[in-house]
C-alpha cells in the first residue's frame, strides 16, 4: 500500500497560529508553525473582551482564582486556577515586552475593565474592544522577525502520525504538494475550538474542531466534551459568523432589554447583566424567542467611539446607529471548555503530543469559562508547553511510523449536509438540550457522517459534533453551560474523560526520509 512522501525536521511543529500557537513558538525560539489559512485568521483576532490579570492595587491573584472557581460550576481544578492567576501579571508583562500596548487611564496606569463573574476591575484591553487583533499583531510581528520560526500558511494538518503510543509527526496537505508526512520531535496542537459545528457562532470559518478530531483519531484522552460556552450577545445580523458584542459593554453599563424595551436580567440574577455567561445566554435566548432581545448601549454612548470602536463599526456595517438604537442580539457558540486532556505542562496522554489554548482542557474553565480567561490561558500554557519541550530529550526519527489508512478524498466547499448538521446541532445540542433531541441528533449525525467524511472539513465537523452530542446525552444534569431541560438540577460533581479507539493505521518504514528545508 502506498503512502505519502516522508520528510523530517529537528524542531517542534505547532499546529495553529492563534495566540497559543504563536506564543508557544516565541517561547521555544525554534519551531515550525502550521496554519491552514493565512496568518491573519482564527478566533484570537476576534477577541474583544481583553485579558484578565490581578494587577490592580487592590486586587490579588487569590481573588482572580476564586472568581474563576466560582463561575466554573464545581469542575474547576483549583490548583490550575491559582497557577494561571498567579502567572497572569507575568504574561501581561511579556506581551508588553514584545510590543503590545495596553490602554491606559489618565493617570498613566493600565485601564482595567470589569466583566461578568469578576469581583473587581482586572481586564486589560488594547484599542478598546480590539484586544485580540492588537495582541495578535504584536505576536505576528515578533514571529515574522524571529529567525528561528518558520510559518507554513495554507497548509492543512489532517492527521497525527504515531509510533506506538508516541506521536512522531503530522500528515499535511497543500494544493501544491498534496499529502506529506512530516516527522518531528514534538507536536503542539493549538488549533482553537469547535464553534463552526453550530449555525450560530462568533467563530470564523476555519474553526472546525480540527485539533480535537485528529487527537481523537490518534487515541488521545478527551474530557468535558459537552461544555460549549454560548456568548450571550452576538449581534443578530443574519451573517456567518455573527459579530460579537463584547461583554465589556455590559461591564461599562450597557443593559439588556426585551422586545417591549424592558430590562429583564435583574429579575433573573442578583448580578443582572453581569451574571455568569450561561445564565445570561439562556435568558437572552428565551427573550429572543419571545419578542426579541436587545443590547442598549446608549447609557454609555459617550464612551463608544473611544473604548468600543469595533462595536461602532460593526453596527454601522448593518445599518444600526448604536448611539440611539438598541442592538438586536442572540446567543451564539463562542468558546469550547472541552478538549484534549493535558497536565499543567500541556502534556497529553500521548507522548510527544502537547496541546494548549482552546483545544486543550486544562481544568481552568470547568463547565463555564470566566470572561477574559481564554487569551490568558493560551499565554500561560504556551509558556509551560515550551518549557516542558525544552526540558525533554528529543527522540530520534523512529524506524517505523503508523499512518492512518483512510483519509478524506476532497477539500471541496461545505456541502448541504454541513448546513444541515450545523442547524441540527444548534437546535438539539445548543443552549438547551434534552434526551429526545440529543437522540435524534446522534441518529442524524451518523446518517450524514459517510458523505460528510469525504471532505476534511466535513469529517472534522461530523466527528466533533458526535463527540459533543454523545457527551451531552450522557451528562444527565444541568451544570454551567450544559443545560438539560429534562434534568434541570445539578447532580454530583463529575468530569467525564474518554479515550477514543485510534483509527486503523498502516506501518511504514521511515528509511527513505528527506530532511525538510526550513528557513
| Assigned CATH class of 233-332 | alpha beta
Question: Whole-angstrom Cα distance, residue 385 to residue 271?
Answer: 37
- Residue with the bigger pLDDT between 275 and 284: it is 284
What is the three-state SS of 102-141?
CCECCCCCECCECCCCCCCCCEECCCCCCHHHHHHHHHHH
What is residue 337's predicted lDDT score, i.e. its pLDDT? 96
In this predicted structure, the answer to whether residue 236 has a pLDDT above a threshold of 60 is yes
In this predicted structure, the answer to whether residue 374 has a pLDDT above a threshold of 60 is yes
- Per residue in 211-222, pLDDT tens? 999 999 999 999
- Per residue in 292-303, pLDDT tens? 999 999 999 999
In this predicted structure, the answer to whether residue 517 has a pLDDT above a threshold of 70 is no
In this predicted structure, the answer to whether residue 332 has a pLDDT above a threshold of 60 is yes
- Residue with the bigger pLDDT between 230 and 398: it is 230
In this predicted structure, the answer to whether residue 194 has a pLDDT above a threshold of 70 is yes
Question: Whole-angstrom Cα distance, residue 334 to residue 346?
Answer: 23
Ramachandran bin of 211, using left for φ above 0, alpha for ψ from -120 to 50, beta for the remaining angles: alpha
**pLDDT band for position 518 (cuts 50, 70, 90):** low
What is residue 415's predicted lDDT score, i.e. its pLDDT? 82
- Per residue in 147-184, pLDDT tens? 999 999 999 999 999 998 899 999 999 888 889 999 99
Q: Are 407 and 179 in contact (CB under 8 A)?
A: yes
- Could you confirm whether domain 416-491 is CATH 1.20.58.100? yes
In this predicted structure, the answer to whether residue 18 has a pLDDT above a threshold of 60 is yes
Sign for the CA dihedral angle at 403, 355, 389, 43 comes to positive
In this predicted structure, the answer to whether residue 50 has a pLDDT above a threshold of 80 is yes
What is residue 395's predicted lDDT score, i.e. its pLDDT? 67
The residues facing 255 across adjacent strands are: 296
| Residues of the chain above pLDDT 90, percent | 73
What is residue 512's predicted lDDT score, i.e. its pLDDT? 65
What is residue 45's predicted lDDT score, i.e. its pLDDT? 60
In this predicted structure, the answer to whether residue 108 has a pLDDT above a threshold of 90 is no
Is residue 277 annotated as part of the catalytic site, yes or no?
Answer: yes
What is the mean predicted confidence (pLDDT) over 109-122?
Answer: 87
What is residue 310's predicted lDDT score, i.e. its pLDDT? 84
Indicate the average pLDDT of the chain.
91
Q: Are 287 and 321 in contact (CB under 8 A)?
A: no
Question: Whole-angstrom Cα distance, residue 284 to residue 277?
Answer: 10
What is residue 414's predicted lDDT score, i.e. its pLDDT? 64
Q: Are 460 and 452 in contact (CB under 8 A)?
A: no
- Per residue in 468-494, pLDDT tens? 999 999 999 999 999 999 999 999 889
Q: Which of 162, 277, 384, 473 is catalytic?
A: 277
The CB density around residue 96, as the number of other CB atoms within 10 Å, is 15
Q: Are 114 and 120 in contact (CB under 8 A)?
A: yes
Q: What are the extents of the domains in the chain?
A: 6-227+337-404, 233-332, 416-491
- Per residue in 396-453, pLDDT tens? 778 888 999 876 666 666 688 999 999 999 999 999 999 999 999 999 999 999 999 8
Question: Whole-angstrom Cα distance, residue 50 to residue 38?
Answer: 23
What is residue 275's predicted lDDT score, i.e. its pLDDT? 86
Kind plus residue range of the DSSP H or E element containing 426: helix 416-428
**pLDDT band for position 247 (cuts 50, 70, 90):** confident
What is the mean predicted confidence (pLDDT) over 326-330?
Answer: 96
User: What is the topology classification, in CATH, of domain 6-227+337-404?
Assistant: FAD/NAD(P)-binding domain (3.50.50)
What is the mean predicted confidence (pLDDT) over 184-204?
Answer: 96
Sign for the CA dihedral angle at 461, 245, 362, 70 comes to negative
What is residue 516's predicted lDDT score, i.e. its pLDDT? 62
Burial 99-126 (b: 16+ CB within 10 A, else e): ebebbeeeeeebbbbbbbbbeeebbbbb
What is the mean predicted confidence (pLDDT) over 267-275?
Answer: 91
In this predicted structure, the answer to whether residue 366 has a pLDDT above a threshold of 80 is yes
Q: Are 212 and 339 in contact (CB under 8 A)?
A: yes
What is residue 41's predicted lDDT score, i.e. its pLDDT? 65
Same CATH fold, 416-491 and 6-227+337-404? no
**pLDDT band for position 306 (cuts 50, 70, 90):** confident
Amino acid at each position: 500500500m502506498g503512502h505519502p512522501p516522508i520528510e523530517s525536521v529537528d524542531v517542534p511543529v505547532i499546529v495553529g497560529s492563534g495566540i497559543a500557537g504563536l506564543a508557544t513558538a516565541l517561547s521555544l525560539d525554534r519551531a515550525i508553525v502550521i496554519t491552514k489559512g493565512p496568518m491573519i485568521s482564527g478566533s484570537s483576532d476576534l477577541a474583544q473582551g481583553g485579558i484578565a490579570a490581578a494587577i490592580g492595587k487592590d486586587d490579588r491573584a487569590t481573588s482572580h482564582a476564586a472568581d474563576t472557581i466560582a463561575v466554573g460550576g464545581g469542575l474547576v481544578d483549583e490548583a490550575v486556577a491559582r497557577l494561571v492567576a498567579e502567572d497572569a501579571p507575568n504574561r501581561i508583562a511579556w506581551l508588553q515586552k514584545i510590543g503590545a500596548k495596553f490602554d491606559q487611564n489618565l493617570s498613566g496606569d493600565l485601564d482595567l475593565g470589569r466583566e461578568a463573574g469578576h469581583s473587581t476591575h482586572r481586564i486589560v484591553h488594547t484599542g478598546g474592544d480590539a484586544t485580540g487583533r492588537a495582541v495578535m499583531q504584536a505576536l505576528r510581528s515578533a514571529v515574522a522577525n524571529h529567525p528561528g520560526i518558520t510559518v507554513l500558511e495554507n497548509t492543512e494538518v489532517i492527521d497525527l502520525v504515531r509510533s506506538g503510543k508516541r506521536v512522531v509527526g503530522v500528515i499535511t496537505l497543500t494544493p501544491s504538494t498534496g499529502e506529506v508526512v512530516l516527522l518531528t520531535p514534538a507536536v503542539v496542537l493549538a488549533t482553537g475550538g469547535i464553534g463552526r459545528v453550530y449555525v450560530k457562532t462568533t467563530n470564523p470559518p476555519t474553526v472546525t474542531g480540527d485539533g480535537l478530531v485528529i487527537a481523537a483519531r490518534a487515541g488521545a484522552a478527551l474530557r468535558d466534551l459537552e461544555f460549549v460556552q454560548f456568548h450571550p450577545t452576538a449581534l443578530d445580523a443574519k451573517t456567518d459568523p455573527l459579530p460579537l458584542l463584547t461583554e465589556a459593554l455590559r461591564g461599562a453599563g450597557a443593559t439588556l432589554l426585551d422586545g417591549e424595551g424592558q430590562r429583564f436580567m435583574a429579575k433573573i440574577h442578583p448580578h443582572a447583566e453581569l451574571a455568569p455567561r450561561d445564565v445570561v445566554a439562556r435568558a437572552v435566548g428565551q427573550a429572543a424567542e419571545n419578542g426579541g432581545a436587545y443590547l442598549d448601549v446608549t447609557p454609555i454612548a459617550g464612551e463608544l467611539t473611544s473604548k468600543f470602536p469595533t462595536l461602532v463599526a460593526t453596527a454601522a456595517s448593518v445599518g444600526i446607529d448604536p448611539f440611539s438604537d438598541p442592538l438586536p442580539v442572540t446567543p451564539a457558540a463562542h468558546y469550547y471548555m472541552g478538549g484534549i486532556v493535558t497536565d499543567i505542562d500541556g502534556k497529553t496522554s500521548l507522548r510527544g503530543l502537547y496541546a494548549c489554548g482552546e483545544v486543550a482542557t486544562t481544568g481552568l474553565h470547568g463547565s463555564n469559562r470566566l470572561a477574559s480567561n481564554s487569551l490568558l490561558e493560551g499565554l500561560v500554557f504556551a509558556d509551560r508547553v515550551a518549557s516542558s519541550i525544552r526540558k525533554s530529550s528529543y527522540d530520534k526519527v523512529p524506524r517505523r511510523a503508523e499512518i492512518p489508512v483512510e483519509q478524506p478524498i476532497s477539500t471541496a466547499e461545505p456541502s448541504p449536509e454541513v448546513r444541515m448538521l450545523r442547524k441540527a446541532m444548534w437546535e438539539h445540542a445548543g443552549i438547551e438540550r434534552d434526551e429526545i433531541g440529543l437522540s435524534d441528533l446522534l441518529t442524524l449525525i451518523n446518517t450524514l457522517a459517510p458523505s460528510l467524511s469525504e471532505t476534511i472539513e466535513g469529517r472534522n465537523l461530523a466527528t466533533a459534533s458526535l463527540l459533543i452530542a454523545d457527551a451531552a446525552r450522557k451528562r444527565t444534569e444541568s451544570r454551567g453551560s450544559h443545560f438539560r431541560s429534562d434534568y434541570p438540577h445539578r447532580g454530583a460533581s463529575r468530569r467525564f474523560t474518554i479515550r477514543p479507539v485510534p483509527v486503523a493505521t498502516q506501518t511504514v518504514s521511515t528509511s527513505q526520509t528527506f530532511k525538510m528545508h526550513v528557513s
